[in-house]
Structure 1
Amino acid sequence: MIPLARNANLLVTFLLELGVLASVGYWGFVTGSNWPVRLLLGLGGPALFIVAWAIFGAPNGAMIPLTGLARAVLEVLWFGGGAAALVMAGRVVPGIAFAAVFVVNAALRLIWNQ
């Protein structure tokens, strides 16, 4: 039972990572004042997040992998950025739910040493 729960928690982590990109993209497409700005924000925002994650956060392929407190700060900024993007796009309840799922997921990863 526990191995299944641990694997499910890793799946939730991956889905949260994808959710961050979707949230930032959504924010960009609803925030801009005109179509070119929306396109720039909607595609550029997730692109910046992808670059940051590839450099510092990717579990098995980061160019400069962070550990310890630096990793925790990166995750709070990364996943918090996804939640904040939803809130700034006017989706307060989904943003709060996203943040809550991240907190539970992160706590379980710490408990299970994932």
Structure 2
Amino acid sequence: MWKWGNLLASFLAELVALGIFAWWGWSVDGTTLVRLLLAIGLPAITAVVWGLFAAPTAKRTTPAVRTVVKVLVFGLAGAALWSLGHPVSAVVFVVLVAANLLIIHRQGLSPDR
């Protein structure tokens, strides 16, 4: 139960990060077309990069690359949330994600182990 709960929390954190990128893209000053492209494009690019390098089934990755991609995605999502005017939520998000990733790694659930 604990194992699946942590893996579910990790997946939900990934979805929240994609949502934050979409929200940030839509909030950028610019034309509706630019905002729409950012709101769709940023999450799409993030999902592709995640799938190639950070997903548990990623074939073209190493533990170092997987770690860098995760830190960048979650760190940038936290920074985007902060820039949207939600600094407390940004800190809580990053801390919870870090704790979850640490638990997953320590339990041996990470594909890096």
Q: TM-score, normalising length from structure 2?
A: 0.87
What displacement does 1:63 show? Answer: 4.3
Task: Give me the whole-angstrom Cα distance separating, in 2, the residues matched to 1:56 and 1:102.
Answer: 18
- State the distance in 1 between where 2:29 and 2:18 align: 17
Q: Is the 8 A contact 1:27 1:86 kept in 2?
A: yes
2:81 is aligned with 1:81: no
Query: Do the aligned partners of 1:27 and 1:85 also contact (CA within 8 Å) in 2?
Result: yes
Identity, % of aligned positions: 34
Determine the C-alpha separation between the residues in 1 that align with 2:77 and 2:86.
Answer: 11
Segments of structure 2 that go 5 or more residues without pairing to the other structure are none
Partners of 1:57 and 1:66 within 8 A in 2: no
Query: What is the correspondence of 1:1-114 to structure 2 with a 5 Å cutoff?
Result: 4-60=1-57, 62-67=58-63, 69-114=64-109
Aligned residues: 109
- Deviating above 4 A after TM superposition, structure 1's stretches of 4 or more consecutive aligned residues are none
- Structure 2 distance, partners of 1:75, 1:19, is 13
Normalised to the residue count of structure 1, the TM-score between the two structures is: 0.87
Q: Structure 1: 5+ residue runs without aligned partners?
A: none
